A and B are shown apart, each in its own frame.
Chain A
């Protein structure tokens, strides 16, 4: 069992509002990067293929194909450098880790779209 002090210690480093996305979602990850002393936001978009870990160590992996080459980036979930994660599309998936996408190319990498679950809809978002 996890000691309660570990949770207390991690409390301040956890994200205040949890990021709302699931494995299989196509997302835009907004990442703050420091150039000299100017901060700028870099967007990495792709499919979430894995989410692992717990507490402050939790992370997720996003995969995209750039110029025919597969690129994967793993982000720590709770880092303050992560500005936001925007969900573009929900994908219908049947497993927690989508490593099988690595072996596929082109059309075979598509995921069937699914509707948003009630808790995935941001109530503050404006209706289009």
Chain B
């Protein structure tokens, strides 16, 4: 059973469904993904499948990254072979720019190193969870960051139109309560959006349409997995 897929957010548009109603969709370039490693309980302590998406130029990839996807002859490898250590299976592909693991409950996923996954693995799924890094907004005020209302434009408000107002009481408790919402770093964090409906999965073009918005900028990497809470 396919575990998930990696992809790249392309952008948003709208399409008409069979009823002639407009559906707002995010276009995702999903796959092809290569299984770069299979983790097993025996060796790694847990079961998981590691996927890689997007080629990284060899000159930019570290030696470790190159050695992860293909055999590169080196002294250490020769020594290990001489010592009788079994070499790990390699997919034999280009170094990947985006690599993520998908945890599995057991080893029954049936995936092998080197196997390629396309967008049609999603075809049987009705809903997806999309995980990505949201757009970084830098140091943001409370109106943008926490949806505060700010203050009035007139009626004596001076220079504090976008301020949050009071952050607490006076002598008792004489401190700001922990967790009080204030300005600060906003965005650029890992965000999971659950239960996005799959509108279309096109393996030929490695294209996936999901209804609604997906975190991150256009061109950002996304992790797609079968909805954890809505598998109907």
Stretch at the interface among A74-82, A111-119, A120-128: A74-82
B residues bordering A, Cβ < 8 Å? 10-11, 13-16, 20, 22, 25, 27, 29, 200, 202, 205, 207, 209, 218
Residues of B within 8 A of A6 (CB): 10-11, 13, 27
User: In the bound complex, what is the Cα–Cα distance between A26 and B197 (angstroms)?
Assistant: 41
Most A CB atoms within 10 A — which of B11, B14, B207, B209? Answer: B14
Contacts of B16 in A (CB 8 A): 13, 56, 78-80
| Interface membership of A12, Cβ < 8 A | yes
Closest residue of chain A to B20 (Cβ to Cβ) is A80
Most buried by B among A10, A13, A79: A13
Query: How far, in Å, is A111 (CB) from chain B's closest CB?
Result: 32
Answer whether A13 and B15 are a contact pair too, CB < 8 Å, given A5-B27, A79-B20.
yes
B14 is contacted by which of A5, A56, A80, A81 (Cβ under 8 Å)? A56
Select from chain A the residue with minimum beta-carbon distance to B219.
A3
Which of A10, A79, A80, A81 lies in contact with B13, CB distance below 8 A? A10
CB of B13 within 8 A of CB of A56, answer yes
Q: Are A9 and B20 in contact (CB under 8 A)?
A: no
Specify the main secondary structure of chain B where it touches its partner.
strand
Known pairs A6-B11, A10-B15, A56-B14; list 10 more (Cβ under 8 Å): A3-B27, A6-B13, A8-B205, A8-B207, A9-B200, A9-B209, A10-B13, A13-B15, A79-B16, A79-B22
Say whether A9 contacts B22, CB under 8 Å: no
Within 8 Å CB of B202, what residues of A? 8
Establish whether residues B15 and A56, one from each chain, have CB atoms under 8 Å apart when the complex forms: yes
A10-24: contact bitstring with B at CB < 8 Å (1 yes, 0 no)? 101100000000000
Does A57 have its Cβ within 8 Å of any Cβ on chain B?
Answer: yes
Residue of B nearest to A81 (CB): B20
Residues B10 and A12 in contact, CB atoms below 8 Å apart: no
Query: A residues within 8 A CB of B15?
Result: 9-10, 12-13, 56
Q: Quick check: is A55 within 8 A (CB to CB) of the other chain?
A: yes
With both beta carbons as reference points, the residue of chain B lying nearest to A55 in the complex is identified as B13
Which A76-128 residues sit within 8 Å CB-CB of chain B? 76, 78-81
Digitize A34-60: 1 where CB-to-B-CB distance is under 8 Å, 0 elsewhere: 000000000000000000000111000
A81 to B19, CA, bound (A): 10
Chain B residues within an 8 Å CB radius of A78: 16
5 smallest beta-carbon distances between A and B, as pairs? A80-B20, A13-B15, A13-B16, A3-B10, A9-B27
